[in-house]
Structure 1
């Protein structure tokens, strides 16, 4: 996501959604900025459009995505509008597994699809081999660059000014909460009341944990599902996370990280974490049995919550809601891009498909199906995003699109280094499990993470 963003595709749970986003949340924002887009290079073909002409021959385009990005339902529509094009889609369950799949095929120099989805958390790895991706300016990217929020384009621009990806979603964050559980504890269970409980615009992580301790004292139950997602969110909020803006490793002796880790470890020690298995939640049962009352939610995670509740046998009456509040202010977790590897035999048609899938109408459809908040400006303002949807109905009629638009204000894309997702998952992952299970206190868990850092990253 950013970047430890995994998106779960949980069988029947998501069948009702049809699509979704994954986390999901640079990559190379700052790496791209110094090189700025090379405006001296004109597009060498017609601008990318939403209605590319049908090919003279039958063409099969392959696309690899991950989790539930909200794209699956669009392929048939594209095929019907473009006779001669057949889309063969492969979806990988999580962003982490998709990274492994891409790296394996990239190293082999074979097996890559015509359109490759890239997660924000590993975009910098892609940028290190950006020449192996098609410069989409050759197919009109410069003419449609104003489609997206500027920082999304900057993320996908390498240091040579080559645009190698079209943005799908971004991951502004709010808090999902179970209003029924809060009310049963004698605490505010409505959206505004819950937001004010956390401090409203002045919400902090300390306040979030303090309220969680109150809930724990009243109910004896956990406040959030597990510490990994909370930690990821806390890191993503910093101006600089695991790497500095100029690409240097930034973990050891990082006072901001250590301060937040200590706060999180203390919360886990106080019983605020339910110690759930990431991307499992007992087949959705944990969302229904009061195992926890809050959940950190970038836009794409809303579909995950809905899918989990339905997988566990629940529905819109389960009590889950979505609030316009976030500890520490604006935060982004996740976001993806569609790229065209240079190995594609049909780069023009692949680029046209990627451009179509990331046009406003299609991004609205992805949001309605899954909560994948658009990176396209026109889509963010579309009634299909700001108005009612299946997600708004599920989350107690919350104005989901409006809330996400507000939560996106002030978001700054954090630079993600080449091993950002590795650090999140393989370095801090075991330590997160250790503090949640009570096997280690905060200091020991931190020390263990630093040892792993030396081993895994060096």
Structure 2
């Protein structure tokens, strides 16, 4: 897909490092274990907002001889291109690479290019994760090729100042009820959007691509069936949702912002839109964009425990070790440490994402720490509620291509008034044939 919080004592952290080191003692490595006398440089490639910078430094301090050279790519889509290009070339792949859920299906087709983490203690720590996340990182042969980082349960981000100016309630509990509470639906979300637009004269949400992605992710089966078959052409439920979104666009509810840009963050500050769909990792993205536009913690943005249509997951990532790594054992050890519950809590603090490990989720729910960038909303506790009932949808090999390149252009045509729903759907089927079926 285009793109994507600490309370543990020093003693507990040191014990976790020792345990992981012991759990990673099996398997082969091209050299001896890292030490001051045998220094090892580990390369790591992530994307978007991972919040790992402080964790890299902590790991280096706890593991003499290890130096981490980190690369961060701006979006998941660009990270996908980078990784597959290097896999095809047979060189240049980092020792640890982040893989996005949206293109995990494509990775599974070349899973033999990644280390089976069972050889480095994966079975001993599998109970750290929610079951479906661990299973996602396991290929059909039972090889564990990725340790889960975050998951993407969704709530609604909204600007309380804009709500108040439009005569709508701004308290997050009241906002959740306004949007339907436990019975929240897309119909209700767009209905309230029209109320907001009538009162303010301004759009309701940032742009339609993210809304469409969320709508599809909520379906039992998305662009692929659970058996791995394409599931777009003739999918009446999907067509109905596309028409519903097209109607909302026609009603003027979309601000038609450029994805991942939002006028370099200025749209979060100038009233361009009042709401947006927010998986946990999006909170960090919004904070970064508000900061880049010169805004602060008083921007008015808040986070509500509600989502149209109920539980939904968008995104989440994994850390994998390519077979090409010259330091497989040390790389697997680092991947396990970075995804340990203690580290996932710290990652959540730094990046505003939501952990995939059970203990980390429970800690965030219990602490309910206020997030100053979102009007002191207990974002971790809210995401823990939004995660209930979530199980990620099956993603086929071209899932991210379909979302970005098959449906992206037709949705743009609707947003710019160049096509209606029927014309845009026909364009999507044309692109599906060109880019996926006949490619």
- Residue in 2 aligned with 1:344? 325
SS in 2 for 1:86: strand
- In the alignment, the residues of structure 2 paired with residue 205 and residue 244 of structure 1 have an alpha-carbon distance, to the nearest angstrom, of 23
Going from structure 1 to structure 2, the CA distance change for 1:453 and 1:397 (only over 3 Å counts) comes to same
Asked if structure 1 preserves the Cα contact closer than 8 Å seen for 2:364 and 2:381, the reply is: no
Asked if structure 2 preserves the Cα contact closer than 8 Å seen for 1:67 and 1:94, the reply is: yes
Q: What TM-score do the two structures reach when normalised by structure 1?
A: 0.88
- In the alignment, the residues of structure 2 paired with residue 372 and residue 352 of structure 1 have an alpha-carbon distance, to the nearest angstrom, of 22
Following TM superposition, by how much is the alpha carbon of 1:5 offset from its aligned partner in structure 2, in angstroms?
A: 4.2
Q: What TM-score do the two structures reach when normalised by structure 2?
A: 0.92
- Residue in 2 aligned with 1:421? 400
In the alignment, does 2:393 pair up with 1:395?
no
In the alignment, does 2:6 pair up with 1:6?
no
- Residue in 2 aligned with 1:265? 246
SS in 2 for 1:451: helix
- Residue in 1 aligned with 2:315? 334
- Residue in 1 aligned with 2:200? 219
Following TM superposition, by how much is the alpha carbon of 1:176 offset from its aligned partner in structure 2, in angstroms?
A: 0.3
Segments of 5+ residues of structure 1 without an aligned counterpart are 8-16, 18-44
- In the alignment, the residues of structure 2 paired with residue 424 and residue 363 of structure 1 have an alpha-carbon distance, to the nearest angstrom, of 28
The runs of 4+ residues in structure 1 deviating greater than 3 Å are 53-56, 383-387
Asked if structure 1 preserves the Cα contact closer than 8 Å seen for 2:365 and 2:381, the reply is: no
Following TM superposition, by how much is the alpha carbon of 1:432 offset from its aligned partner in structure 2, in angstroms?
A: 1.3
Asked if structure 1 preserves the Cα contact closer than 8 Å seen for 2:48 and 2:73, the reply is: yes
1:158-307 equivalence runs, <5 A: 158-307=139-288
Deviations 1:65-95 (A, max 9, x none): 1111121221111111101011111111110
Following TM superposition, by how much is the alpha carbon of 1:387 offset from its aligned partner in structure 2, in angstroms?
A: 3.2
Following TM superposition, by how much is the alpha carbon of 1:233 offset from its aligned partner in structure 2, in angstroms?
A: 0.3
Following TM superposition, by how much is the alpha carbon of 1:48 offset from its aligned partner in structure 2, in angstroms?
A: 3.7
SS in 2 for 1:316: coil
Following TM superposition, by how much is the alpha carbon of 1:386 offset from its aligned partner in structure 2, in angstroms?
A: 3.4
Going from structure 1 to structure 2, the CA distance change for 1:285 and 1:266 (only over 3 Å counts) comes to same
Deviations 1:168-212 (A, max 9, x none): 000000000001101111111110111111100000001100110
SS in 2 for 1:382: helix
CA RMSD of aligned residues (A): 1.6
Following TM superposition, by how much is the alpha carbon of 1:334 offset from its aligned partner in structure 2, in angstroms?
A: 0.4
Segments of 5+ residues of structure 2 without an aligned counterpart are 6-20, 26-32
SS in 1 for 2:356: coil
Following TM superposition, by how much is the alpha carbon of 1:283 offset from its aligned partner in structure 2, in angstroms?
A: 1.4
- In the alignment, the residues of structure 2 paired with residue 186 and residue 372 of structure 1 have an alpha-carbon distance, to the nearest angstrom, of 31
Which shows bigger deviation, 75-84 or 305-314? 305-314
- In the alignment, the residues of structure 2 paired with residue 264 and residue 120 of structure 1 have an alpha-carbon distance, to the nearest angstrom, of 24
Following TM superposition, by how much is the alpha carbon of 1:338 offset from its aligned partner in structure 2, in angstroms?
A: 0.3
- In the alignment, the residues of structure 2 paired with residue 356 and residue 414 of structure 1 have an alpha-carbon distance, to the nearest angstrom, of 27
Asked if structure 2 preserves the Cα contact closer than 8 Å seen for 1:183 and 1:189, the reply is: yes
Following TM superposition, by how much is the alpha carbon of 1:125 offset from its aligned partner in structure 2, in angstroms?
A: 1.0
Deviations 1:382-436 (A, max 9, x none): 25983325xx111111111110000000001100000000000100000111111
- In the alignment, the residues of structure 2 paired with residue 265 and residue 332 of structure 1 have an alpha-carbon distance, to the nearest angstrom, of 22
SS in 1 for 2:197: helix
Q: Which residue among 376, 382, 386 is the counterpart of 1:407?
A: 386
- In the alignment, the residues of structure 1 paired with residue 364 and residue 46 of structure 2 have an alpha-carbon distance, to the nearest angstrom, of 27
Q: Which residue among 149, 152, 157 is the counterpart of 2:138?
A: 157
Following TM superposition, by how much is the alpha carbon of 1:108 offset from its aligned partner in structure 2, in angstroms?
A: 1.0
Which shows bigger deviation, 438-447 or 347-356? 438-447
SS in 1 for 2:64: coil
